[in-house]
A = this chain, B = another copy of it.
């Protein structure tokens, strides 16, 4: 009865296999309004000068600077006001010596003006502006293109579009931006005992946990979960579904990976393609499987998670999430480089599994990491957990007070949603 695992692999070797999986990226143009958190798929160059015209950087009076050179508190200069130009207005009159134009911050300055006297250094008197301080040539005027010259590289391909970068793209008047398409990932929950929340809970059945958990974890990696479905644990149902989903970017399954009676995923993968990994030396998560399927001239990959919900989520984060983010073009190291773990003291001594890398759920209490010592299938463990720690396989004891690195169960600290 049952089959053996192909060959229990070291987790580092599994990571290497995943790292070598080729990725096809696709690009789409989407409206700027919908681009928050997306990744630019092309360099963005300036399409206009910024500012697009010569403008006042202060409220005041545009002048011919030379007219003000002799001005002082004691011997002010008087200039005749010929026009008022607000922001958004267009100056209609040329300036000649002896005259000035009132301008607001951001307003265009008349062509012949070469300085703006700040309103604070002036007085108004019957159409005449009394000026108490001189301005230098160019003072309080922002030149066209002084911030950005058209064609300058503004944002390189790969930039994550956060609010500040939306500001940059808005300044160019961009309506559409080229971004990487979100990879589409099929989610399959296998198991004859699993029912959806639309069904009545009959004896012997349990509600499906993994399809929603893993779907939402996929979202936090910048991918789109599709066809999230429950599939019976039999050869034909599973093979049919996998075949149906082969055009998507990836298939993620959970369950059906143990070396037990009803576990047919391995068999399906053997027949449809090749099993690259079956069994990893980790706890929990040993029955993890990776298959490669021929699809035309191309290969498609299937990542099989354990059925146990805690194991599924941990294996997802440790092995598969980095690949999903890479598919989604999210370069974690060039994103805002916050440290992705929290360093805390362990609240008690912990003896990990021997010979396997151990992923341990912890909750954070009083600033310490408290191990959650429950069966790895326990939903209470998930309810209490704030994150998990990784204990390498050669560690025999983690002493109370050791510094551990707590990883978020939400995936990245900065989930890409």
A interface vs B, CB < 8 Å? 1-2, 32-33, 36-37, 48, 50-53, 57, 59, 84, 86-90, 102, 104-108, 119, 124, 142, 147-148, 152, 154-155, 162-168, 170-175, 191-194, 197-198, 201, 203-217, 219-220, 233, 258, 260-262, 307, 309, 313, 336-339, 342, 364, 374-375, 377-380, 382-383, 385-387, 408-411, 413-415, 417
Q: How far is the CA of A244 from the CA of B57 in the complex (A)?
A: 32
Provided the pairs A197-B170, A339-B339 are in contact, do residues A163 and B216 lie with their beta carbons within 8 angstroms?
yes
CA distance A124 to B261 in the complex (A): 14
Question: A409–B107 contact, CB under 8 A?
Answer: no
Contact assessment for B147 and A213 in the assembled complex, using a CB-CB cutoff below 8 Å? no
- C-alpha spacing A148/B384, complex, angstroms: 12
Chain B: which residue is nearest A87 at the CB level?
Answer: B193
**A231 smallest CB distance to B (angstroms):** 12
Judge whether B147 and A378 touch: CB under 8 Å.
yes
Given A1-B119, A260-B105, A382-B164, verify A336-B410 contact (CB < 8 Å): yes
A-B contact pairs, 22 of them (CB 8 A): A2-B119, A32-B197, A36-B417, A37-B415, A86-B261, A87-B204, A104-B261, A106-B191, A106-B193, A106-B307, A107-B193, A107-B204, A142-B375, A148-B380, A163-B213, A163-B217, A163-B220, A163-B410, A164-B385, A167-B309, A171-B379, A415-B417
Distance to closest chain B CB from A118 (angstroms): 11
Q: Is the CB of B206 within 8 A of A52?
A: yes
Cβ A379 vs Cβ B50 within 8 A: yes
CB pair B170–A386 under 8 Å, yes or no, is no
Contact of A213 among B87, B152, B164, B382 (CB under 8 A): B164
Chain B residues with Cβ under 8 A from A32's Cβ? 197, 212
**Distance in Å from the Cβ of A155 to the closest Cβ of chain B?**
6
**Interface pair B409/A164, CB less than 8 Å apart:** yes
Does A108 lie within 8 Å of B203, measured CB to CB?
A: yes
Query: In the bound complex, do residue B417 and residue A417 qualify as a contact, i.e. CB atoms below 8 Å apart?
Result: yes
Measured CB to CB, the closest approach of chain B to A334, in angstroms, equals 10
New contact pairs (20) apart from A162-B415, A337-B364, CB-CB < 8 Å:
A36-B216, A37-B417, A50-B379, A57-B375, A59-B260, A87-B193, A88-B191, A88-B194, A90-B204, A148-B380, A154-B379, A167-B213, A167-B309, A170-B208, A170-B212, A171-B206, A172-B207, A336-B410, A336-B413, A339-B339
Rounded to whole angstroms, the CA-CA distance of A345 and B35 in the bound complex is: 32
Q: Which residue of B lies closest to A84 (CB)?
A: B261
Asked, given contacts A204-B108, A206-B52, whether A379 binds B148 with beta carbons under 8 Å apart, the answer is yes
A211 to chain B minimum Cβ distance, whole angstroms, is 8
What residue of chain B has the Cβ atom nearest to residue A417's Cβ? B417
Residues of B within 8 A of A378 (CB): 147
Question: Given the complex of chains A and B, what is the CA–CA distance between A414 and B336 in angstroms?
Answer: 11
**Residue among A108, A204, A377 having the largest count of chain B Cβ atoms under 10 Å:** A204
Residues A106 and B206 in contact, CB atoms below 8 Å apart = yes
Contacts A1-B124, A192-B87; A166 near B212 (Cβ below 8 A): yes
Closest to A208 in B: B170
